[in-house]
A and B are shown apart, each in its own frame.
Chain A
Amino acid sequence: MPEVDLIEGFRDPVHMKALAAIIRKECTRKINIMEVCGGHTHTIMKYGLPQLLPDNIEFVHGPGCPVCIMPKERIDHAIALALMPNTILATLGDMIRVPGSKSSLQKLRADGCDIRSLYSPLDVIKIAQDNPDKNVVFFAIGFETTTPMSAVVLEQALRLGLKNIFFHINHVSVPEAVDAIMSGGDAQIDAFLGPSHVSVITGYKIYEPIAKAYRTPVVVAGFEPTDVMESVLRIVRQINHGKAEVENQYARAVSREGNLKAQALVKTYFEKRDHFRWRGIGDIAHSALKLKPAYAAMDAEVVFDDILPKVLLDDHKMCICGDILKGRAKPYDCKVFAKACIPSNPMGSCMVSSEGACAAYFKYGNLNLKGAKA
């Protein structure tokens, strides 16, 4: 088999230009494509893909950013947990930057709280072993991609008999969120780019009900620029032929069934919540996971229930993150975008996380882009 350059091989300018030319030729009608995952939003903005595509292809940015959809009251949970004496709070990525009602984990860390930003969830085990006299709370976030890692941490903690690890579980799920957006009936979406890494775990079968119910093509796409361009072409062709199927462009990593071992692991330790409140979208039934009752002794929401704030918190009136997550508005439609709301001082969560649509627009956008204001 010839050696494939996994980076440059998927960023080849000749292929990019050729794909753009074919899409321009074949796309004859307006198509709104929702990229569900924040990773795709980044690829689209970072590589300036809208500049290559015809005007009648519009990207709508979906709810696939785990930090963006975290409601403020749950960030306040993280803050309350971090403020407990003798506690280390560990979480992933830019969760530490997101402001809750009063503070952020980053500010708490500067005030002396022990807050760790992890590269890998498994580091939690080492932190707990190195600090046997402290409680380690893992504030677990992410879609189906990161859930198996949390299950592995839990399994390891059980195997090692670690009594000082607690889990605050915020794992959410893609299909229910997409369904919530589409079932409202007011979303203008003709097709979906399916997430890359989520699909590696779940398999592409999870999108089959969506394609069927809403007559929308779903193409599971890789994260590289030629992946997205090829997937857009596949969507254009499905629409031209009146099809609404699930296709797998990211075949080098995704299968129909997905990673069965990871799925089994998740099933062992987690169960569906009745509902979960998504920031900007609201309650979605069965859209998130929690620990099974058998593991209640490690469930931070059970063990520390008495200190967790219960008040639900909504965003500032001016923030339209909710509409952006639903595909009803673009960051540029927001009156506070890039004015009162900037990455260093975000008013809504889409500006906080680097995977958020507003942050991606702020960072890469407004240059010759469709819908851009100079």
Chain B
Amino acid sequence: MSTKILLSHGGGGEETQSLIKNLFFKHFGNDILLHMEDAAVLTMKSEKIAFTTDSFTVSPLFFKGGNIGKLAIAGTVNDLSMMGARPKYLTCAFMIEEGFEYDKLEEIVVSMRDEMAKSGVKIVAGDTKVVPKGGVDGIFINTAGVGEVLKEGISAHALRQGDAIIVTNEVGNHGACILAMREELELQSDLKTDCASLWKSIEALIDADIKIHALRDATRGGVSAVLNEWAQTSNVGIHVREADIPVANEVKGMCELLGFEPYEFANEGTMLIALPQSEVAKALEVLKRFEETSKSALIGDVDDRFEGRVVLQTPWGSERFLEPPKGELLPRIC
């Protein structure tokens, strides 16, 4: 095997077959995938099936605590999980830039395998394209997934007056980590992405029969985007307390330096939960059992003061609207 990916690896011939067998089958291998048919034939236990897709591009491809491969698995697993669905099967398509290093591709594939083990999901179909240099930035990955809906009715429309809002981790770590590692910034930082598959903690919430009204992972647009979307979709007001929202000190520092808000930074393993107040204690107890949700905190509630808006209360009691993120994130000037 050559040490770089060549156009011929995507040509469909012998090199493609060898890449599939020596790399993808080696790490992703399962009964369905190894059948090598034109399409995977699946058996699902539930009548209701959740189905989603997402494409992943990130620069840099490798960052503290993960890489694009881990993101591509956790991202789709989490999208299914947010609908109360057990992630079952994924498809995976790679778009690889000619000249990409084989070892790096293997590193990505291995971390995808490891991430799948955490939720038990399987890749059952795949595709590989190699494009000429400059066609993509290193590698793009698309994953689509299906899951069995175990808990129905979880929806952005389902928030009600009096609901409590929980966040399951420190916010902004992924966005800040990626930003710090960008070539033009080169900030020294130990910040790690929060990238994680959240299915196990959600399964535990479902098993504990905790009533959940809405669930969403706070990816692009961060916590701010999710809360605003909920407030608008359910036509309720959401009130959150800044003092209770966990934010790593390093993230705060970076936001100060560049003029950003941690609530607008992307997360890749942090979700928001809206649920009845009576369920909060039980839910927090369950969430704290899992490493990825061990920092869960009650951050606010649903009220009717400003319908469709999110109000952020400072630690000294003054308030402001938390606006949904707009435009591209541009650093402050001075």
Contacts and interface: CB of A to CB of B under 8 A. Distances in A.
Interface string B167-197: 0000000000000001011000000000000
A141 B311 CA distance: 34
A91 to B, nearest CB: 9
A11 interface: yes
Contact of A366 (B259, B315, B321): B321
Contacts, number: 102
Nearest to B306: A367
A136 to B, nearest CB: 15
B331 A119 contact: yes
Interface string B250-286: 0011001011000000000000000000000000000
Contacts of A368: 318-319
Nearest to A197: B334
B326 interface: yes
B177 to A, nearest CB: 16
Interface in A23-79: 39, 42, 45-49, 51-52, 66-67
A343 interface: yes
Contacts of B314: 13, 47-48, 225
Given A119-B184, A119-B185, A367 B319 contact: yes
A367 B311 contact: yes
Contacts of A46: 320
Interface string A324-341: 000000000000000000
B249 interface: yes
Given A45-B320, A366-B321, A16 B315 contact: yes
B39 interface: no
A97 B327 contact: yes
B100 to A, nearest CB: 21
Given A7-B253, A7-B256, A355-B333, A47 B326 contact: no
B321 A13 contact: no
Given A7-B256, A119-B185, A365 B316 contact: no
A211 B321 CA distance: 36
A7 B256 CA distance: 9
Contacts of B327: 97, 343-344
Nearest to B321: A367
A119 B257 CA distance: 11
B330 interface: yes
Contact of A120 (B184, B256, B318): B184
Given A16-B315, A20-B316, A97 B252 contact: no
Contacts of B137: none
B211 to A, nearest CB: 31
B45 interface: no
Interface string A91-133: 0111111000000000000000000011110010000000000
A7 B319 contact: no
A143 interface: yes
**Which of A48, A119, A142, A145 has the most C-beta atoms of chain B within 10 angstroms of its own C-beta?**
A119
A120 B306 CA distance: 40
Contact of B334 (A5, A66, A97, A123): A66
Contacts of B332: 39, 93, 354-355
Nearest to A47: B314
B117 interface: no
Interface string B295-306: 000000000001
A93 B316 contact: no
A51 B333 contact: no
Nearest to A11: B315
B321 A93 contact: no
A363 interface: yes
Contacts of A141: 333
B243 interface: yes
Interface in A345-374: 353-355, 362-368
A146 interface: yes
Contacts of B320: 45-46, 48, 364-365, 367
Interface string A222-245: 010100000000000000000000
A3 interface: no
Interface of A: 5-8, 11, 13, 16-17, 20, 39, 42, 45-49, 51-52, 66-67, 92-97, 117-120, 123, 141-143, 145-146, 197-198, 223, 225, 343-344, 353-355, 362-368
A-B complex: 9 closest residue pairs judged by Cβ atoms? A48-B318, A51-B318, A145-B334, A16-B316, A13-B315, A93-B333, A364-B320, A13-B316, A94-B330
10 contacts: A13-B243, A48-B319, A92-B333, A95-B333, A96-B330, A97-B327, A142-B334, A225-B314, A344-B327, A367-B321
Given A93-B330, A93-B331, 15 more contacts: A7-B252, A16-B315, A47-B316, A51-B318, A52-B316, A66-B334, A117-B331, A123-B184, A143-B334, A354-B259, A355-B259, A363-B323, A364-B321, A365-B320, A365-B321
